[in-house]
Amino acid sequence: MEKTLSRIQAFLKLEASAGLILMGVALLAMLAANSALASFYDAFLSTNIRIGIASFEISKPALLWINDGLMAIFFFLVGLEIKREVLTGELSSFDKAVLPVLAAIGGMAVPALVFVALNWGTPENLNGWAVPTATDIAFALGILALLGTRAPVALKIFLLAVAIIDDLGAILIIAVFYTSDLSTNALTLSMLGFALAVVLNRMGVQRVAPYVIIGIFMWVFVLKSGVHATLAGVLIALTIPLKKKDGDKALLYRLEHDLHPWVAFLILPVFAFANAGVSLQGLSLADLTQPLTLGIAAGLFAGKQIGVLGATWIGVKSGLARLPEGVGWRQVYGVACLTGVGFTMSLFIGSLAFGADETMNAVRLGVVLGSILSGLLGFAVLRISAPRPTAIPTPA
């Protein structure tokens, strides 16, 4: 139990630091997009990069290499975390999982309904219904970390569990709703790779190289199939062994430990820099109140609060679940606010839902606005409701 708790605390500390870095990188992206550097920023993102052999090639602008390539590694790490939590962690039993599962479901359903309600009269925007359903783990935990020891560990674990289930929901949404025309040949080849990885798992193979080679193969053919390429990362993660016969750390734990700093301090900041550059040129009040921007911002800010808090209240009052030990309703409300910090995941889903630059600027504006308001309110609520640290008496 102590080992598990220390691992969770180390994870939370890493995520919190990454969240603070993401805030700085997002600010840099906005400065770049609204300064004399804007042309260089746009040129960097639109630079075409081609990798290919003979007639077989993958040619994409830098922005899509980041969103399709680097983010596949992020989703690989998410897949590892989900597998570990479901099999051995905070989601491994009904008692542990029921409250965060209910909270996450409410936190995805209500924001989507808020978005649809505000965009019902604008059918071309409805494809973005999933944008406000996401939660950014690193950002949310980074804000919670600012409270220090005044935020109980149980509250941090609850937020982490909700965000992980939210990530699982996002993966399913991407697979089902944001998949273009399918190439059955390419998809079949990718599934053959997945089947081979399953065989390696059953054989107890603990070396990294075979899974990396198969993962790259799967990524290429999932990309060519029309399914979003990041899902290859999730699929290969599910085949990574979680147990080892000789008692040493299994490959899943080693990969999760080794990848986490790279994802937290390189991949996510690069993604944030590439996607958070909101152009404020000519911005007016009308831009803030257009249905797309308002639907995303309101979904994150109001929808997440109502969904997470409401589902948690129903779960507790019905007797299905109980609040974490030492956590009160005001703190649950504060966490509900923090789940409205969508940022990287919301921007990612937005990039799948909308391709046009003008539309994406409205998406970015809504995500940034909703995330900032959610983060500020969540921090204020938790700051007010947290018990003051007990002063240590000085010896006479």
User: Residues 143-189: pLDDT tens digits?
Assistant: 887 777 677 778 888 888 898 888 888 888 888 888 766 788 888 99
Supply angle C-alpha 153, 159, 164, rounded to 5: 125
Decide: 231 and 222 in contact? Cβ < 8 Å. Answer: yes
Is 311 contained in some domain? yes
Is 342 contained in some domain? yes
What tokens appear for 378 in the block? Answer: 């969540």
% of the chain surpassing 70 pLDDT: 89
Is 219 contained in some domain? no
Is 290 contained in some domain? yes
Domain enclosing residue 74, as ranges: 2-179+228-385
Query: How far is 205 from 197, CA to CA, in rounded Å?
Result: 9
Is 380 contained in some domain? yes
Q: Choose between 12 and 342: higher pLDDT.
A: 342
Name, in order, each residue with C-beta under 8 angstroms of 297's C-beta and a sequence gap of 6 or more.
132, 288, 365, 366, 367, 369, 370, 373
Of the listed ranges 43-47, 138-142, 293-297, 338-342, the least confidently predicted one is: 138-142
What's the pLDDT tens digit per position in 110-132?
999 999 999 999 999 999 999 99
- β-pairing verdict for 48-53 and 56-61: antiparallel
What tokens appear for 170 in the block? Answer: 């996002």
Decide: 77 and 256 in contact? Cβ < 8 Å. Answer: yes
- In this prediction, residue 257 carries a pLDDT of 87
What's the pLDDT tens digit per position in 236-258?
999 999 887 666 778 998 998 89
Whether the per-residue pLDDT at 368 is higher than 50: the answer is yes
Residue identified by tokens 């509250």 is 155
- In this prediction, residue 76 carries a pLDDT of 92
Instruction: Report residue 335: phi and psi, to 5°.
Output: -65, -40
Is 209 contained in some domain? no
- In this prediction, residue 396 carries a pLDDT of 47
Q: Choose between 104 and 56: higher pLDDT.
A: 104
pTM of the predicted structure, to 2 decimals = 0.80
To the nearest 10 degrees (0 to 180), the angle between helices 343-353 and 357-385 is 160
Give 52's strand partners: 57
Alpha helices in the chain (DSSP H): 2-33, 38-46, 62-64, 71-88, 94-119, 137-145, 153-177, 184-202, 208-225, 230-237, 251-262, 268-275, 285-288, 291-298, 304-317, 329-338, 343-353, 357-385
What's the pLDDT tens digit per position in 260-298?
888 888 888 898 888 878 777 766 777 788 999 999 999
Count of domains forming the chain: 1
Query: How far is 119 from 307, CA to CA, in rounded Å?
Result: 19
Confidence of residue 306 (pLDDT cuts 50, 70, 90): very high
What tokens appear for 30 in the block? Answer: 């906005």
Query: How far is 33 from 132, CA to CA, in rounded Å?
Result: 23
Is 111 contained in some domain? yes
Of 312, 288, 308, the residue nearest 300 (C-alpha) = 308
- In this prediction, residue 67 carries a pLDDT of 83
What CATH number is attached to the domain comprising 245?
Answer: 1.20.1530.10
Whether the per-residue pLDDT at 224 is higher than 50: the answer is yes
Average pLDDT, the chain: 85
Of 333, 328, 289, 275, the residue nearest 131 (C-alpha) = 275
CA dihedral 120, 125, 126, 129 (to 10 degrees): -110
Angstrom CA distances, 170 to 130, 292, 300, 345, stand at 8, 19, 14, 8
Query: How far is 308 from 337, CA to CA, in rounded Å?
Result: 9
Query: How far is 107 from 189, CA to CA, in rounded Å?
Result: 36
What's the pLDDT tens digit per position in 49-87?
888 776 667 888 888 888 888 888 988 988 898 888 888
Q: Choose between 327 and 308: higher pLDDT.
A: 308
Is 215 contained in some domain? no
Name, in order, each residue with C-beta under 8 angstroms of 122's C-beta and a sequence gap of 6 or more.
291, 292
Decide: 86 and 252 in contact? Cβ < 8 Å. Answer: no
% of the chain surpassing 90 pLDDT: 34
Q: Choose between 249 and 40: higher pLDDT.
A: 40
Decide: 214 and 170 in contact? Cβ < 8 Å. Answer: no
Q: What average pLDDT does the segment 344-364 reach?
A: 82
Task: Read off the DSSP letter of residue 276.
Answer: -
Task: Read off the DSSP letter of residue 301.
Answer: I
